[in-house]
Amino acid sequence: IESVQRSMTKYICNDFNEMSYSSRLKELHILPLSYQREFIDLMFIFNYFKG
């Protein structure tokens, strides 16, 4: 799924070779999918212990 996000950021930015993946993410104000999964896991653990 991460590869799909990489491809779509290239498509959206109309820039297939010049910008790095991290630069495209910053320009679009989005996080990599791996960060989103970690955040969801942390929220689950927090909610589990909080009740």
Is 16's pLDDT higher than 80?
no
Strands, E assignment, 1-51: none
Position with higher pLDDT, 15 vs 29: 29
Mean pLDDT for the chain overall: 88
Residue 18: predicted pLDDT: 81
Is 47's pLDDT higher than 90?
yes
- Chain center to CA of 1: 10
Q: What is the pTM of this model?
A: 0.64
Structural domain span for residue 41: 2-50
Number of compact structural domains in the chain? 1
